[in-house]
Structure 1
Amino acid sequence: MSMELTLDTVTVAVDGQVLLRQLSLTVGAGEIVGLVGPNGSGKSTALRCVYRALKPTRGVVRIGGDDLAGLPMSRTARSVAALTQEGGTDLDFTVAEVVALGRAPYLRGNQALGQRERQLCEQAMEKLGVAHLAGRGVLSLSGGERQRVLVARALVQEPEVLVLDEPTNHLDIRHQIELLALLKHSGLTVLVVLHDLNLAAATCDRLGVLSAGALVATGTPREVLTPDLLHDVFGVRVTVVAHPLTGDPQLLYSLQSSTERNRPT
């Protein structure tokens, strides 16, 4: 069951530096909201507040109306699943063992997986196309294979909220599309950071644009991904066209720099 996620005026300051400034954003139950912005704009910082790797300096994160900071960590572990940029493992567990770790918040001690847990793991591995790797050690996998294993682990957790930081990293184009299609039809509440704005436009119900730690725009991809905003935030000139099949905005970039365009002939 998915639940609404709310970040209410969340501010994060570390060593006197403000990384995130009064971020207010709501992700409705079953909605996919993407965070986009330049490097260092605060996207990953916002996600860390949701999966409690960081405590906001000010402001509140709520799940289903409950203040996340007031919930037991065991409840958070069942409610929020996260795929982080540092989400790998240095131990050579098998793929099946890594995926099964998603059930850890529901088990006590060394309790073995029951039939339902084993079925969940098998189904998740099938969905992510890694079932044939079940007996392989994760350290022997490619970056893309390992990424799909970690997404399977997150799904096995049966979270109410799924938080993903660059989930398409290391994936080839086929697996990028398959993963994002899976998220789109999952019914989960999803907050995701994506660098590829075309994939973000095709996947997300709404986008939040961050710049220098502040939310500068929010809305549907069509409302947000305008040439003026992209130039102001990312410093690039783009042409926005409608996808011929879906109507989603698609960005066409020029490799010619602003300096070259303005250079006298």
Structure 2
Amino acid sequence: MELVAKEIEVKIGKKEIVKNISIHVNKQQFVGLIGPNGCGKSTLLKSIYKSLVPQKGMVFLDDLDVLKSPEKKISQHLGVVGQFNEMHFDLTVQQMVMLGRTPHKKMLESDNQKDFDIVEEALTRTNLQSYRGRSFLSLSGGEKQRVILARTIAQQPKFMILDEPTNHLDIRYQIEILSCVKDLNIGVLAALHDLEMAAHYCDYLYAVKDGGIYAHGTPQEVLTPETIETLYHIKCQTFTNPVTNGLGFAYGL
């Protein structure tokens, strides 16, 4: 699906957090949001998937008006993976992933063989087959994030939003999660902290500063030393990473 968000504005109290932002994600495109802490990335994403209601703006997934549609209808098309997934009750990994089938079921409808097949595919995609009987609460942070991703995959979304999904995770889990999402070949909008990850996985970037779009374009166009210094107040040099053949970064104060 194609995502179009137009002229989004969000205020919390009297403070304007998101200032007239418009973004566009084409079908099967992986688009990243970068910018410093507090710049408005997560607030923008929350307004797009309707966790927050913007004061102004429109959000469409193809012809679906997200801001005016019921939650169940949205969840049949849009999946969300956030950075904090703590729970106060326990389920097995398989039970957690099965929750992803909820938007596609009628009230009190039992799980059927199709649901189990879809969950099995999601567990396979995220390398969690051997975890199916494990307690979710017993898992590490990276393992929990893979389970949440598997649950989202089980929704069979046509578009996915990632709200800093690799924050606080080690490099292995960052690569596993972003590679898995990239391989889904669906539209993705992701807020990312790691610039090398953004350069490697994203087709297009929006750089956010003080609640507005400061720059946008391909990673090569956006991730320049000048833009990085403006966003993060740090000196930076870019180079070609010999391992990935993509952009690499050297930082200094």
TM-score when scaled to structure 2? 0.96
Q: Partners in 2 of 1:79 and 1:89 — Cα distance?
A: 24
Paired AA for residue 73 in structure 1: E
SS, match of residue 24 in structure 1 = strand
Matched, 1:114 2:117: no
SS, match of residue 111 in structure 1 = coil
SS, match of residue 187 in structure 1 = coil
Shift of 1:173: 2.0
Aligned match of 1:145: 143
Contact 1:4-1:29 within 8 A present in 2 as well: yes
What pairs up with 1:31-70 in 2 under 5 angstroms?
31-70=29-68
Aligned match of 1:78: 76
Aligned match of 1:12: 10
2:200 aligned to which of 202, 205, 208: 202
Matched, 1:221 2:219: yes
SS, match of residue 227 in structure 2 = helix
Paired AA for residue 137 in structure 1: S
What pairs up with 1:162-177 in 2 under 5 angstroms?
162-177=160-175
Deviations along 1:180-220, one digit per CA (max 9) or x if unpaired, are: 12222211110111100000100000111001111101111
Contact 2:33-2:206 within 8 A present in 1 as well: yes
1:95 aligned to which of 93, 98, 102: 93
Shift of 1:87: 3.1
Contact 2:85-2:144 within 8 A present in 1 as well: no
Aligned match of 1:262: none
1:250 aligned to which of 220, 240, 248: 248
Q: Partners in 1 of 2:239 and 2:163 — Cα distance?
A: 27
Paired AA for residue 38 in structure 2: G
Deviations along 1:93-125, one digit per CA (max 9) or x if unpaired, are: 111111000000011223222112111111111
Q: Partners in 2 of 1:93 and 1:108 — Cα distance?
A: 22
Paired AA for residue 244 in structure 1: P
Q: Partners in 2 of 1:143 and 1:218 — Cα distance?
A: 32
Paired AA for residue 108 in structure 2: N
- Structure exhibiting the larger radius of gyration computed from Cα positions: 1
Contact 1:4-1:65 within 8 A present in 2 as well: no
Contact 1:147-1:169 within 8 A present in 2 as well: no
| Bigger mean CA offset, 79-88 vs 216-225 | 79-88
Contact 1:164-1:192 within 8 A present in 2 as well: yes
Aligned match of 1:159: 157
Q: Partners in 1 of 2:123 and 2:183 — Cα distance?
A: 17
Contact 1:147-1:170 within 8 A present in 2 as well: no
Q: Partners in 2 of 1:125 and 1:170 — Cα distance?
A: 23
TM-score when scaled to structure 1? 0.91
Contact 2:167-2:193 within 8 A present in 1 as well: no
Shift of 1:66: 3.1
What CA RMSD, in Å, does the superposition of the two structures yield over aligned residues?
1.3
Contact 1:210-1:216 within 8 A present in 2 as well: yes
Structure 1 gaps, min length 5 = 258-265
Shift of 1:170: 4.2
Matched, 1:185 2:183: yes
Deviations along 1:18-37, one digit per CA (max 9) or x if unpaired, are: 01001111001110000010
SS, match of residue 76 in structure 2 = helix
SS, match of residue 188 in structure 2 = strand
